[in-house]
A and B are shown apart, each in its own frame.
Chain A
Amino acid sequence: MQKIVDLANNTFRETIRDRVLNAALVFAVAMIGASVLLGTLSIGQDIKIMRDLGLAAIEVFGAAIAIFVGTSMLFREIDKRTVIVVLAKPVTRHEFLLGKFLGLSATLTCLLVAMAAAYAALLLYSGGWDNALLWQVALVWMQLLVLVGLSLMFSAFTSPVLAMLFTFGLYLAGHNLDSFKVLGEKASPLVKALTEALYYGLPNFSHLDIKNQVVYGAPFSLPQFGVAVTYGAVYAALALAVAMVVFSRREL
């Protein structure tokens, strides 16, 4: 257990000191700030635009960093051969991957908290804050965990560029699965079965995204939130498990 904590801690330090992260944070905060500017141009919609654009910025920059760092992390370990230094020690590959997952998740949590703090500060100042907005931040956190899992899964067997493309592709698809399902409903039974399978099999990021609702403080039940969070956790665990199986077979 201590080993996993050490591995996670090491990954955390390695990733949080990465300059890409600082750049992303600056951009995200700038974007949240820019929403003020756009808001003033919008004739009475300033609060709405600040809320919408801020939530979108938090999600987009969080996801970009999760995918970017997540897919390059394992490759960097293998490319620089740091992985063989670690795995030559009494560390299993499962422990290694779990440590990587937890470490990057911790870094992303810090990033998310920082972005959410900037967002909350802006809205509190301009009088547009609503505690319901925190539900979305919590669900974005689950989205990021799933993305870290998927990034590790793809990077366990392919190059970082391909892993990035695949993860990003799943992220896009996972946010548009509804239209996918609608498409299948009007098609032949075979195609319909296929789209249904994909609908339930692919990571449905829309389940982890309520930004269109929370900005209106729409009713959102605790059981629904619980199911959403559990769904995210299960999918992240699934991706991580596949990553472990693939990685344990890989020659280093």
Chain B
Amino acid sequence: MTDHELVIDAQALTKIYPAQIGQAAKTALDGLELRVARGETFGILGPNGAGKTTTQKLFLGLMRPTKGTVTMFGARPDEAAVRKRIGFLPENPYFYNYLTGEEFVRFCGGLFDIPRKTLEERLDKLLELVGMQSAKEQQLRKYSKGMLQRIGIAQALINDPDLVLLDEPMSGLDPVGRHQFREIIKGLKAQGKTIVFNSHILSDVEDICDRFCILLHGRKVAEGTVAEFTSGGKSLEEHFVKVVNESNQGAAMIG
């Protein structure tokens, strides 16, 4: 695989949750076309329930698309070789209660078959990077939301991934944490990693992303670079609201 190849290639990606007792069928994602190239930092923007998490689950092969296809590094997303190259942080991570932070990240590393010595070195470095060295021996049930988020980032990076998928990575972090986290992402970017993250917070996208798209009710309503959107002197927020209103999908959003 060459450097110019696409890391993510989603074509007409559609996910419909089948009807259940007391629940009608729900279209979570409708014909998404998305391509992310190597080294890009890509933001998926949208209100809660827009289909961002579904998209990432499809990227990870945790779900099968109802229609359309997605290839990751040119292969099927559920192949082990693909997953070896991906780091993933779920939304509001909540890990094994009775493990300590250190045990948990080590456990995650073990799942990648990382040699013990490399694993211990990386573990040490990552705990330092996310600022969790002092709390690494506490059980996870005693962690605050922000601490869980930090340990979540450490486990997402334990395999030194080529692609990092982050689902609402900023939620639960205080302003200092947010700042640190942006620095971490910038560091990853500098290493040439591909980063895809979901967010409903515009300023995050503005600050970090090369490109982004806006999802609304499972449909992609806009895609472009931050520069394209902020040309003409308007802020990203103004553009965003405009796009949303144009889509006639209501303005009940933006957290």
Chain A residues engaging chain B, CB cutoff 8 angstroms:
2-3, 6-7, 9-10, 13-14, 17-18, 80-82, 84-92, 251-252
Check if B19 is an interface residue, CB within 8 A of chain A.
no
Q: CB within 8 A of A90: which of B62, B83, B91?
A: B83
Interface segment among B5-13, B94-102, B183-191: the answer is B94-102
Task: Kindly supply a per-residue 1/0 record for chain B positions 82-112, scoring 1 wherever the CB is within 8 Å of any chain A CB and 0 otherwise.
Answer: 0110101011111111110001000110111
Check if B63 is an interface residue, CB within 8 A of chain A.
yes
Residue pair B98, A85 in contact (C-beta under 8 Å): no
Check if B194 is an interface residue, CB within 8 A of chain A.
no
Check if B113 is an interface residue, CB within 8 A of chain A.
yes
Check if B159 is an interface residue, CB within 8 A of chain A.
yes
The residue on A at minimum CB distance from B141 is: A17
Most chain A CB inside 10 Å of its own CB: which residue of B84, B91, B93: B93
CB distance from A87 to the nearest CB of B (A): 6
> Main secondary structure on chain B at its contact with chain A?
loop
Check if B219 is an interface residue, CB within 8 A of chain A.
no
> Main secondary structure on chain A at its contact with chain B?
helix
Instruction: State the interface size on chain B (CB cutoff 8 A).
Output: 32
What are the residues of chain B within 8 A of A3 when measuring CB–CB?
Answer: 110-111, 113
The residue on A at minimum CB distance from B63 is: A251
Given contacts A10-B99, A90-B84, A251-B64, contact A85 B113 (CB under 8 A): no
CB distance from B246 to the nearest CB of A (A): 33
CB distance from B163 to the nearest CB of A (A): 11
Residue pair A88, B83 in contact (C-beta under 8 Å): yes
Q: CB within 8 A of A89: which of B83, B92, B103, B152?
A: B83
**CB contact list, B43-100 vs A, under 8 A:** 57, 60, 62-64, 80-81, 83-84, 86, 88, 90-99
In the complex, A92 Cα to B110 Cα: how many Å?
14
What are the residues of chain A within 8 A of B81 when measuring CB–CB?
Answer: 90
In the complex, A6 Cα to B84 Cα: how many Å?
17
Residue pair A14, B98 in contact (C-beta under 8 Å): yes
Known contacts A6-B110, A84-B60, A89-B159; 16 further A-B pairs (Cβ under 8 A): A2-B110, A2-B113, A3-B113, A6-B107, A7-B111, A10-B107, A13-B96, A13-B99, A14-B98, A80-B95, A86-B111, A89-B83, A89-B108, A90-B83, A251-B64, A252-B57
